[in-house]
Every structure is written in structure tokens, then in C-alpha cells.
Chain A
Amino acid sequence: MSREKAAAPRRSIDWSDVHRRLEQVRHAVENDGTPDAQETARILAARAQALATPKLAESDGETIDVIEFLLSGERYGMGFAYVREVFPLLDLTRLPCTPPFVLGIVNVRGEIVSVVDLRKFFDLPENGLGDLNKVIVLHSTAMTFGILADSVAGVRTVPRSELQPSLPTLTGLRERYLLGVTGDPMVILDAAKLLADPRLVIDESVAP
């Protein structure tokens, strides 16, 4: 391909074009590769235009951004607005005298963050041996904790209109936190509800 292109001008050399291009290159080199003001304005305007276009123009309704992750072979999503950060679980300190769903605590840049195993909290059967080596830190104004995931697929935008209320296979505690299910299917959980749930909060002392 490239050879063909290179060969083309050799047949009849358009010197004025060569000079024009040389001039362009000289200009670019002299400006250290930075486009001139006019060019910058044009690029920025184009970019702004592209960014301003709604991603899901075809569905006018509300959308939610979710972080998509895998847990025990199932796909889950959770409101991205509640995600503070995601990091690989490298070290974990287990805590005695806590319920099984509290896996332990980790050090996040000097701050102690507790890590929750949602499979245990939702009472899901633990089939298979997952990787469970990603921590998704959820936060709200009053609560912060991490949840474990096998892997994190990324962030995607889901139109609310595409959400189905539930699936017959979703039972128990999980259903309580359900925001909806997409067609793929991905189970979207209500992060706000989870963060506000007092059942996840440990507040116990030894009876005298």
C-alpha cells in the first residue's frame, strides 16, 4: 500500500505541491509540532462538538453510568458515582470477631478501608474458585468500604429504559438491592442502598 502511494508522485512531479508540503513541514517543525492558533481553535471546536453530542442519542431517557464487574461468574454493575477507586488486592489483614462478610482491612495510602465479600453478604453459593483480587471502593458522605470482585470490565452507560425489573433467578438479599437487570444480562445493584444499609455496619462491644 505505502509503496504504491510513494510511487505515485514519481510519475509526474507536482513541484508546487512538494513546495507547499515542505513549507507545511517547516512550519510544523519551527512551531515544535504545536498547531497554530487557528488550527488549535478548529481542533478544539471539533472536539467540543464531539464531546457535546450525547452518547445515546437514540434513547432520550435517563441513563446511568455503571462500573461493570464479575463476581462468581456473574456480571454486576454498580453506580459509578459511588465508586471512589479500584485497586488490586495485594495484602489483606483479617479481623477476628467480625461477621464472615467482612473479609478484612486494607491500607489505602494510610487510610484503613474495610473489604466486604458480597457473595457472603448476599448468601450466594460459592461455586468455583474465583480470583477475587480487585477491590472496588464504594463511598458516600457517611460510609466507605470496598467490595471484592473477580475482575473489573470497565465503565458503561446504561439507559434506564433498558432495565428489566428482575430475573426469576435473583432471589434473597440480592433482590433487595436490585436496581434492574440489563438484557446481556448484567445485574445492576443499588450502591446507595448498600452504602446506607445498617446491616453492613459493625458496632459491637463485649457484654460486661
Chain B
Amino acid sequence: MEKNDDAFRKRLLATFRNEAAEHVQALSSGLIALEKTAAPEERQGIVETVFRETHSLKGAARAVGKGEIETLCQSMESFFSLLKQGKASLSAGQFDLLNEAVDVLSALLGSVEDAPTKAQLAAVRELRQRLSGNGSRNTEAPAPVVRNDIPPDSQAPPSASPPEDTAGVATGPTMGKALPDPPPLRGGDTVRVPVARLDAILFQSESLLAAKLTAHQRVMDIRAAQSGVIALARQRARIAPEARALLRRLERGEQRGEAGNRRKGDTRLRRLLEYLQQEDDFIKTHAMRLETLAKAAEHDWRSLGSTADGLLDDVKMALMLPISSIAEVLPKFVRDGSRSQGKDVDFRIRGAETEIDRRILEDLRDPLIHLVRNSLDHGIEKPETRLAAGKPRRGLIELSASQIEGGRIEIVIADDGAGIPLDKVRDVAHRLQLAPPSGNGDAGSTALDDAACLELIFQSGVSTSPIVTDLSGRGLGLTIVREKVERLGGSVSVGASPAGGTRFRLVLPLTLATFRGVHVRCGEREFIFPSAHLTQVARVARQAIATVENRETIPLNGQALSLARLAQVLGIPADKAQARTESVQLVVAGTAENRIAFQVDEVLGEQEVLVKGLGRQLRRVRNIAGATVLGNGRVVPILHVPDLLKSARHAAPSPEPTTDADAARKSLLVAEDSITSRLLLKGILEAAGYNVKTAVDGLDAYTQLRTEPFDLLVSDVDMPRMNGFDLTAKVRADKALADLPVVLVTALSSRADLERGAEAGANAYIVKGSFDQSNLLTAIRRLL
């Protein structure tokens, strides 16, 4: 029983803490607003709000038996009530006092589970005394408390008051009017839902997206099967007239009653032709059924798609929060910070109502606080310095949020301070050996231009602050800001603000987890570029590639862009056949001043992707941000564009890979069912200078051999569908392939197996257990 009570009290306190935190936040924002506002009517409104918040907090504290919070609120409330009646005024000192009271309230709430410490109680006592000292007629306090108890009653009448009581109806509205802004209804048309539950719903909705992608893949698969049947039907249509003619001739012959020894053969031919006609009907019927099936699948895909998308959008909307929910801690933060540094700073928020995914918002809290702190600490000068520079005494930090094109959010934090001292950054950069000294201006070393210099401030260890304070100066903050923002799929840049100070610009996606990506192929590998990081996808003539200062560039929209080969940046083999084409496929990534054109082998399309982590072992892989599962179940890595941009700049400039010997290459087919062995064999043979294609089993290999010329076949023996012996036998029986050299690679090493291989017609037999790549290569060289 005692345990239950204890648990109940804990739950109660947790609820109280959440509710109280909101009141304190509102109180704090109200005080900041009050300090900034001069217009009496507006002030009156704000006083009313903070008064009400204090009162609600007091009531909540009383309900859970937190006496110290209740009494402090009581004193504050009395003070506000005097203010409301115009019986008190607000000086800077009083604002400080009220802010102090808010701080104490926050501290008390922070340790709400425990009894207040002696120091806290002393602080409460002291504050209460000071608060009552400020208002001369403290005894009048209870009066407004009674008045403010009215709102709950004014909401009650519809059900509580009897309908015939017209007097009550008349007084209700007037009482409501007495309060300028009725408090927002709690529990009316809004519901509190635990975040964990919302996240679970979001996760489920996102899984529907995978179902949608799979449904699309099914449609494609059915369409592919359909086109096969259509091609068959077309071939049939070509021979159909001949078959018909043949059948007619037979019939005529029969009518003429021709007798002869060919009679028996004719019957067989007739049966065959009749069967062909039946088959024709059969094919037509099935082509039609496939069409119906494809249409139905398409319909299912579309309806599932729109439901899934709609649901996901709605769930995401439910998870959106206005920027203000994290930005509202900032005004007080700026106020306190500027006071302690002897600065005078005004803080403004614009676009606070802009909404963004809660998960992004949470990760954004620290970066925003850091950037504001940065402006406060490094940007805004002391009042005397500002006056001397002809600036207004009061500095300004402004945070503005707005939605920009492409479903993204832009957050700008600008100040009218001194700006970033570029020469100091250069000096620090030089000291840390990140850049050549600023004085060294000979033509070869491109001394840091301003933009590159500004970029340096995001690097670890670069700080221009001569002293490390508890606020900043360690030179780590901006590095962390960038890392965090990039992890969210966003970017951060810095520049000079129009007012002469510093301007940080954050661009972030509206929502997490799903985004559009451009699917590219590079050699045999496939990757996804997040569309948000791309500015353009283009195809340009190979001749347009120019080399400037040992780096390849390509003109695009009248600008020369650095060119990097994705395969080279990632250190993977590129498609050699691609080097002979006349044009190159480019994907331009990065932001305005920092763009690089990545050359890929093929752009496969743009699609919606669901980001997944790489598993627990691969916490962070260079150049790779995650992976996605396509509709057909294949896993494709998602590229990490900020990493790629850096890698591309590090990569040694190198010319196009030479392709001269390429034409003379022999092409081999490797048939092997084990994916690892397949990759190994392919690797060995490609390293030896052959063009290699692969097949997953005997049947696949046979189909490929029939459609494409190969110089040699390397095949495993033990494979599903068609094994190596059968494949070899089939190759030997095929007129076109009879002379193809066949090398069998197998785990079977008995004499009988060897003989069976020879019987089937294999030219060489290599045993896996004693496999050695030189054996294989010698055997192949001998046969080619």
C-alpha cells in the first residue's frame, strides 16, 4: 500500500513538473516581453498573462503539497496584482528580482522529487521579503486571487446553471469579458499523448512506406512478365499466317482425297498446327489476364501509396512543433548572459510559429543555443565600444525561421556585432598549420580567401577568443554545431550580416527519416544521393572536361565546377566501358560556394527512400550516411554528401583511367552460386585483365551465353537449377557454343567427379580445396 502511494506520488510529481515547467516558461517569456514593451495597453495584457500563469502554478503546487513553490508564487502574484491595479511600477531592479524568482522556481522544479534544501528555502524567504517590500500594500493581495478564480466557473455555466436562469446567462459573458484573454482550454479539443506512443505510430506508418515501395516493385515485375508474353505473342503472330496456310493446304489435300504414304505424317503435322492455334488463343487469354492483373496491382499500389503517404504526412504533422518551443528559452538566456558580461543586448525571434519535426527540433536545441551564445560572446561588443563605433548602444541578436523551397527550413541567427575578425582566424589557422600564413601571397599558394577563411571557424580548435570562459572560447562548439546539423541532413554556413555582424544560416529538412534520393550506379555498385544535397543532375560532353591547375573542371551553367569521379572518391572500381562514351553523367552536390560535380556511370532515377542505420558495428563509415532497402529488397548505401565533398577535395587529382587495352580484353563468364566465391573469382579475373560477367547458377549462365558472346566459361559444379556438369554438357550440345572453353571449379575432388567433368566436356578442372589463383589463371591462359 505504501509502495503504491509512493508510486502515485511520483507520477503526480512528474505530471506536476511538466505542467509547472510550462508555466515557468510562459512566466519567463512574459517577463522578457514586459521589459521590452513600453505601450501601456500591451503591458497590461502581458501583466495579466504572467499573473494568471503565477496563479495557476500556485494552485498546481498546492495540489501536490509543494509549499515553498506555492508561497513564492503567492508573493509574486501579489506583486503582479498591484502592478495590474497600477499601484506599483516596474524598474530594472524589479525585473531582476522577478527574474531571480523565476530562476529559483526553476531550481525548485528541477529537484521537485526531493524536499527543498535549506538554501532554497532561505532564497524563497528572502525573495518573498523583497517582493513584499516592493509593493507597499501587500495585504490587498487576496482580492485578485478571488477574482481570478472566476474563469473555471465561467466555463461551467452551460451544464451547471439551470436553463431557466436567464440572469446567469447574462452575467456569464460579462464576467468573461472582464478578463481580456480567457486562458486556453486544457483538455478541450487537444489531447496529451506521450511522445513514445507517437513515435511508435510514426514508426509503423514509416513501415507502410516500405510496403508501398514493394507494391510498386510488384507492378514492375508483373509488367516485365507481361512484356515477355507480349513479345512471345508477337513472334507467334508472325508465324501464324504460315501455320494457317499450311493447315489450309493440308485440308485441301485431304478433300482431294489424296492418298499416299505421307498420310501419317500429315496427321501429325495437322495435330501440331491445331495445337499451335490453340496455344495462340491460350497466349491471348493469358496476355489479357496479365493486363488485368497489372492494372489491379497498379490500382492497389496507388491506393496503398496514397493512404500510406497521407497517413505518414498526418503523423508527421502531429509530430511537428513550432520553433518557439525551443527558442523561448533563448530570450532569458540572452538576457542573463548579457547582464553577466556587462552588455546590452536585444533578442528578437521572427517566424517562431514555423513548424518542424520534433525529432529535428530536439537535436537543434544545442546548436541554436551555441550559435546565440557565440553571437553574445564574440559578436556583440560592450556598450562603450559600440557607441564609439557609431552603433546604437543596444546590440541586437535576431533569430528568424522560415520555410523555404523544397520542403526545407531556414534558420538564420544574425547579430549586429563586430563580425568575425578574419585576420585573427588566419593567424589561428596558421598557428594550427591549417593554412599558409596570410602574408605569403605568391601566385601558387592561394592564400585563404575570405570565404575559405570563414569556413575555418567550423574546425575543431579554431577559436579567436583569447580566454576560455564558461560560455565559450574552446573552439569546439561550432564543430559540434556543424556535425549535429549535418547529421540531421542539413547544412550550416556563415557569412557577414547586412548590419555588419555575423550571420549563421542553417538549412534543415522539415522532417526526418524519409526523403527523396537520386539513385545512381557507379561501376557495379549502386548508391543513393540525398536529393536535398543536390543542385543538379546533368549530362555533358566528355570533351568539355578541362584541366585547371591540375584539377579537372567542367563548365555548367556558365560556371566552372570541380569534377570528381565518384568511383575514385569512394575507392571502388569504375565501369571501364563507360570511359569510352561521348558524354559523362554528372550529379552536382553541395551548396552554392562549395559545389562539386560527381561523375557517375548512370543515373537510375529519383525515388523516395527510407533511411536505415548501418547496424551497430558500423557506427560511422566515411562517405556513407546509411542505407535503404529498395522495393525489390536490395540494400543500397546512402552517400554522406558533406563527407564526399571533403573527400573529393582530398583525393589526388588524376586523369581519366586509360582504356587503350580495353578493346582487346577477353570476356569471361563466371557461374557460381555462392556470392562470396563469385565476388572473389570476379575480383581475381578482373585484376588479371579480363572483362568478367557473373551468373548465379547454370541456367542463368546458359541464358547469358546464348545472348552474349564470351571467350571462356568458369563454372562451379554444385549449383541450384542446373549444375556445372549439366551446363557443360548443354554448352557442348549447342552448335554456337560447342567450342567454348569451360573451366570447372569445384569442391568435389574424387576421381569419379574428375572423370564426370571430362565426360561432360570440361577443358580444365580445378579443385576448390587446393584453389590457388595462379592455377586458375594458368589454366585460363592456356585455353584462350
Interface residues of A (CB under 8 A from B): 73, 89-98, 102-103, 105-107, 110-114, 116-117, 127-133, 142-145, 148, 200-208
Interface 1/0s, chain B 613-629, versus A by CB < 8 A?
Answer: 11111111111100101
**Most chain-B CB neighbours within 10 Å: which of A110, A129, A143?**
A129
Instruction: List residues of chain B with CB within 8 A of the CB of A114.
Output: 614-615, 617-618
The reply to whether the CB of B382 lies closer than 8 angstroms to some CB of chain A is no
Question: How far apart are A207's CB and chain B's nearest CB, in angstroms?
Answer: 7
Question: How far apart are B565's CB and chain A's nearest CB, in angstroms?
Answer: 13
Question: How far apart are B697's CB and chain A's nearest CB, in angstroms?
Answer: 12
Q: A91-B635, A94-B525, A97-B570 are in contact. Are A132 and B674 (CB under 8 A)?
A: yes
In the bound complex, CA of A102 to CA of B617 (Å): 10
The reply to whether the CB of B771 lies closer than 8 angstroms to some CB of chain A is yes
B619 engages A201 (CB within 8 Å)? yes
| Option from A133, A145, A208 in Cβ contact (under 8 Å) with B615 | A145
The reply to whether the CB of B439 lies closer than 8 angstroms to some CB of chain A is no
Among the 9-residue stretches B48-56, B308-316, B675-683, the one with 4 or more Cβ atoms under 8 Å from chain A is: B675-683
Residue of B nearest to A103 (CB): B676
A144 engages B676 (CB within 8 Å)? no
Among the 9-residue stretches B280-288, B534-542, B643-651, the one with 4 or more Cβ atoms under 8 Å from chain A is: B643-651
Q: A142-B616, A144-B616 are in contact. Are A205 and B676 (CB under 8 A)?
A: no
| Option from A103, A107, A113, A206 in Cβ contact (under 8 Å) with B633 | A107
In the bound complex, CA of A179 to CA of B618 (Å): 26
Interface residues of B (CB under 8 A from A): 207, 210, 458-460, 525, 570-572, 612-624, 627, 629, 633-637, 643, 646-647, 650, 673-677, 679-681, 745, 747, 768-772
Residue of B nearest to A139 (CB): B616
| Option from A128, A148, A202 in Cβ contact (under 8 Å) with B771 | A128
Question: How far apart are B630's CB and chain A's nearest CB, in angstroms?
Answer: 10
| Option from A103, A130, A145 in Cβ contact (under 8 Å) with B616 | A145
A131 engages B636 (CB within 8 Å)? no
Instruction: List residues of chain A with CB within 8 A of the CB of B675.
Output: 89-92, 133
Residue of B nearest to A108 (CB): B615
A206 engages B677 (CB within 8 Å)? no
B768 engages A203 (CB within 8 Å)? no
Question: How far apart are A48's CB and chain B's nearest CB, in angstroms?
Answer: 37
The 9 closest A-B pairs by CB, nearest first: A132-B676, A129-B771, A96-B570, A97-B622, A93-B635, A129-B768, A203-B619, A145-B617, A133-B674
Question: How far apart are A91's CB and chain B's nearest CB, in angstroms?
Answer: 7
**Most chain-B CB neighbours within 10 Å: which of A89, A97, A142?**
A97
B676 engages A203 (CB within 8 Å)? no
In the bound complex, CA of A103 to CA of B677 (Å): 12
Residue of B nearest to A97 (CB): B622
Question: How far apart are B219's CB and chain A's nearest CB, in angstroms?
Answer: 21
Given contacts A112-B629, A206-B650, A208-B646, 16 further A-B contacts (CB under 8 A): A91-B635, A94-B525, A96-B572, A97-B622, A105-B627, A105-B635, A110-B612, A110-B629, A112-B615, A117-B676, A127-B771, A143-B617, A145-B617, A200-B617, A201-B619, A203-B619
Question: How far apart are B725's CB and chain A's nearest CB, in angstroms?
Answer: 18
In the bound complex, CA of A103 to CA of B674 (Å): 14
A205 engages B570 (CB within 8 Å)? no
| Option from B572, B621, B622, B747 in Cβ contact (under 8 Å) with A131 | B747
| Option from B207, B460, B615 in Cβ contact (under 8 Å) with A105 | B615
A128 engages B768 (CB within 8 Å)? yes
In the bound complex, CA of A117 to CA of B768 (Å): 18
Question: How far apart are A195's CB and chain B's nearest CB, in angstroms?
Answer: 9
In the bound complex, CA of A93 to CA of B650 (Å): 26
In the bound complex, CA of A114 to CA of B637 (Å): 12
B619 engages A133 (CB within 8 Å)? no
Instruction: List residues of chain B with CB within 8 A of the CB of A96.
Output: 525, 570-572, 623-624, 637
| Option from A73, A107, A113, A131 in Cβ contact (under 8 Å) with B674 | A131
Instruction: List residues of chain B with CB within 8 A of the CB of A132.
Output: 674, 676-677
Instruction: List residues of chain A with CB within 8 A of the CB of B613.
Output: 112
> What are 12 A-to-B residue pairs whose CB atoms are below 8 Å?
A91-B634, A96-B624, A98-B621, A105-B627, A110-B612, A112-B627, A114-B618, A128-B771, A131-B676, A133-B674, A145-B616, A202-B619
In the bound complex, CA of A98 to CA of B674 (Å): 22
Instruction: List residues of chain B with CB within 8 A of the CB of A103.
Output: 676
In the bound complex, CA of A113 to CA of B635 (Å): 11
| Option from A102, A110, A128 in Cβ contact (under 8 Å) with B207 | A110
B624 engages A95 (CB within 8 Å)? yes
A201 engages B617 (CB within 8 Å)? yes
Question: How far apart are B686's CB and chain A's nearest CB, in angstroms?
Answer: 14
B635 engages A112 (CB within 8 Å)? yes
In the bound complex, CA of A202 to CA of B621 (Å): 6
A206 engages B571 (CB within 8 Å)? no
Instruction: List residues of chain B with CB within 8 A of the CB of A208.
Output: 458-460, 646
Instruction: List residues of chain B with CB within 8 A of the CB of A93.
Output: 627, 634-637
In the bound complex, CA of A70 to CA of B633 (Å): 29
B637 engages A95 (CB within 8 Å)? yes
In the bound complex, CA of A111 to CA of B618 (Å): 13
Residue of A nearest to B460 (CB): A208
B618 engages A202 (CB within 8 Å)? yes
A206 engages B616 (CB within 8 Å)? no
B677 engages A130 (CB within 8 Å)? yes
B612 engages A112 (CB within 8 Å)? yes
A105 engages B616 (CB within 8 Å)? no
B629 engages A97 (CB within 8 Å)? no
Instruction: List residues of chain B with CB within 8 A of the CB of A131.
Output: 674, 676-677, 747
A112 engages B677 (CB within 8 Å)? no
Instruction: List residues of chain A with CB within 8 A of the CB of B618.
Output: 95, 98, 102, 105, 114, 201-202
Instruction: List residues of chain A with CB within 8 A of the CB of B616.
Output: 142-145
Question: How far apart are B461's CB and chain A's nearest CB, in angstroms?
Answer: 11
A95 engages B771 (CB within 8 Å)? no
B745 engages A97 (CB within 8 Å)? no
Question: How far apart are B174's CB and chain A's nearest CB, in angstroms?
Answer: 61
| Option from B460, B624, B635, B772 in Cβ contact (under 8 Å) with A97 | B624
